[in-house]
Amino acid sequence: MDFSPPPKVEPIRALVREFLAKEALPLEPALRREGFVALLPRLRRARERARETGLWAAFVPAEHGGAGLSLVEFAHLSEELGRSPIGHYLFNCQAPDVGNMEILMRHGTDEQKERFLRPLVRGEIRSCFTMTEPEFAGSNPVWLGTTARKEGGEWVLNGHKWFATGADGAAFAVCMAVTDPDAGDRHRRASMIVVPTDTPGFVLVGNLSVMGERGGDWASHGEVSYQGARVPLANLLGGEGMGFLIAQERLGPGRIHHCMRWIGVCERAFELMCRHAATRELSPGKPLGTRQMVQQWIAESRAEIHAARLMVLHAAWKVEREGTYAAREEISLIKLTVARTLQRVLDRAIQTLGGLGMTDDTPLAFWWAHERGARIYDGADEVHVDAVARRILRGYGMERR
Ligand SMILES: Cc1cc2nc3c(=O)[nH]c(=O)nc-3n(C[C@H](O)[C@H](O)[C@H](O)COP(=O)(O)OP(=O)(O)OC[C@H]3O[C@@H](n4cnc5c(N)ncnc54)[C@H](O)[C@@H]3O)c2cc1C
């Protein structure tokens, strides 16, 4: 494969870098000091200007109101946007909305597209995705307590969810619920159902306190209770029993977006590390970068970021050619590798900056707290290790257990 960015990507990246330098970077100190909610009026104005660039919801096909970039093209853009914690949000391609847009485009009925997808792409509303439950291991996506049963032409939902990113202020939730507990194939037990958040029985219990912060609006993780919430049967996404399949599909491109975003974070952390190493003097005329330990951190980080990017681009290329299922091993490998690379690079950068790295004068401490979840969401490291190793070992004759 050719790893060079497709021709249309370079000018787009340059445009986005310039835009973020002007619109996002100046907002970052206030984001770290005052939090996301205090910044909302300014963020909304910046989003309007982002819309004018023509790169709004860039991965969404033009027929649905986006800029229509391919997965590989968007991967490059996602790296650029990832250089700022608000990059994706400004261009309306932030998780979990991006994943919900994808599944609505693919599986939504015309009515669902009109009611939920179009306003989401236009940025008029936000959404959330409710799958994980406090009482059940999220790492086993076929084991859920939330149910949806048919009654009088409606789905009636009951259950308990948490870690619903952006549930605070979302207009609708996509809910993963068991619709056929007796299905012989456990992968066919659950379905996805769209639930407007003003439905009686949809209860946002509150925002979880995560790493010392409850946050708000998009920058929050909600606890949600479904208490007999009733929605029309027409709110089923895809077919009955397709929940697991759609979730897997959603996570394929989603992991590529996340991984490239993390590479953007790595690149910015790397720049901060190098600039500091080259200019911070330990004694007159002896910058930190003269120390072999720091040189090793720099060279290893460079190698790891480079390798990570090539792996992700390869996975994106394979998904485009052969689909998510064929690329499932590559997707697991990048999720695992890049999340760990991200943590290592951030750690080295903070160590290089010393006390300064711990302050909120740079984005490093913010990312250290906010990106720790990378090794947990979309499949914890161990889940991907398990999946990849089992698949490899089956090739050596180990039986499926
Ligand atoms: C920042 C953030 C945002 C999130 N956003 C959303 C969201 O929008 N919607 C949503 O539904 N969920 C969301 N989640 C939840 C996330 O998907 C789950 O936390 C994740 O799937 C793990 O599930 P769990 O927390 O129940 O951990 P568990 O499944 O209980 O696992 C706990 C630990 O066990 C270990 N483990 C698990 N399986 C194995 C194995 N096979 N072998 C060895 N060890 C293993 C891992 O170390 C894992 O971290 C989010 C989580 C975070 C941190």
Query: How far apart are the CA of 232 and the centre of ligand 1, in A?
Result: 30
Is the pLDDT at 400 greater than 80? The verdict is: no
218 — pLDDT class (breaks 50, 70, 90): very high
Atom of ligand 1 nearest to the CA of 386: 41
Confidence of residue 300 (pLDDT cuts 50, 70, 90): very high
Name 275's Cβ contacts closer than 8 Å, sequence gap at least 6: none
pLDDT band at 285 (very low <50, low <70, confident <90, very high): very high
Take atom 16 of ligand 1 and give the residue whose Cα is closest: 377
Cβ-based neighbour number of residue 379 at 10 Å: 22
Rounded to whole angstroms, how far apart are CA atoms 99 and 82? 17
Region 33-46: mean pLDDT is: 97
Site of tokens 């994706």: 88
Given this model, what pLDDT does residue 203 score? 98
* 196 Cβ contact partners less than 8 Å away, ≥ 6 residues apart: 171, 172, 202, 231
Q: What is the pLDDT of residue 103?
A: 95
Which percentage of the chain shows pLDDT scores above 70?
100
- Atom from ligand 1 closest to the CA of residue 140: 29
According to DSSP, the β-strands at 127-130 and 172-178 are parallel
Q: Would you say the CB of residue 369 lies under 6 angstroms from ligand 1? A: no
pLDDT bin (cut points 50, 70, 90) of residue 2 is: confident
Q: 66, 117 in Cβ contact below 8 A?
A: no
Ligand 1 centroid from CA 380, angstroms: 6
Mean pLDDT of 316-328: 93
Task: Among 100, 131, 139, say which to mutate for ligand 1: greatest number of ligand atoms within 8 Å of CB.
Answer: 139
Q: Compute the distance between CA of residue 196 and CA of residue 63 in angstroms, rounded to an integer.
A: 24
**Is 139 near ligand 1, meaning CB less than 6 Å away?**
yes
Query: In this predicted model, what pLDDT tens digit does every residue of 107-124 receive, in sequence order?
Result: 999 999 999 999 999 999
- Strands 221-232, 202-207: pairing is antiparallel
Q: For ligand 1, say whether the CB of 380 is within 6 Å of any of its atoms.
A: yes
pLDDT grade for 3, boundaries at 50, 70 and 90: confident
Span from the CA of 394 to the centroid of ligand 1 (angstroms): 25
Any atom of ligand 1 within 6 Å of the Cβ of 71: no
CA distance 160 to 20: 38
Name the residue with tokens 């973020």.
20
Q: Does ligand 1 have an atom closer than 6 angstroms to the CB of 166?
A: no
Q: Which two tokens stand for residue 86?
A: 């608000």
Rounded distance, CA 241 to CA 263, Å?
35
Closest residue by Cα to residue 207 from 168, 173, 172, 171: 168
Residue entry with tokens 């190793």: 389
CA-165 nearest atom, ligand 1? 8
For residue 137, the model assigns a pLDDT of 97
Task: Show Cβ contacts of residue 400 under 8 Å, excluding neighbours closer than 6 positions.
Answer: 390, 394
Half-sphere exposure of 279 (CA within 13 A, CB side): 7
Q: Is the pTM of this model over 0.85?
A: yes
Higher pLDDT, 400 or 32: 32
The Å distance, Cα 26 to ligand 1 centre, comes to 34
373 Cβ inside 6 Å of ligand 1: yes
Going by alpha carbons, the residue nearest to atom 19 of ligand 1 is 377
Instruction: Please answer whether residues 352 and 274 qualify as being in contact, where contact means their C-beta atoms are separated by less than 8 angstroms.
Output: no
Whether the predicted pLDDT of 251 surpasses 90: no
Pocket perturbation via mutation, ligand 1, pick of 133, 377, 381, 401 by most ligand atoms within 8 A of CB:
377
pLDDT, average across residues 125-142: 97
Tell which wins on pLDDT, 71 or 400: 71
What value does the mean pLDDT take over residues 313-342? 95
Cβ contacts of 39 within 8 Å, gap of 6 or more: 27, 30, 31
- The answer to whether the CB of 311 is under 6 A from ligand 1 is no
Q: What average pLDDT does the structure give for the chain?
A: 96
* 377 C-alpha to ligand 1 centroid (Å): 5
Place of tokens 């590479």: 263
What pLDDT sits at residue 326?
93
Whether the per-residue pLDDT at 362 is higher than 80: the answer is yes
CA distances to 40, 199, 290 from 69, in Å? 27, 35, 43
Name 27's Cβ contacts closer than 8 Å, sequence gap at least 6. Answer: 39, 42, 43, 46, 86
Percent of the chain past pLDDT 90, that is, above it, reads: 95
Residue 379 alpha carbon to ligand 1 centre in Å = 6
Q: Is the pLDDT of residue 401 over 80?
A: no
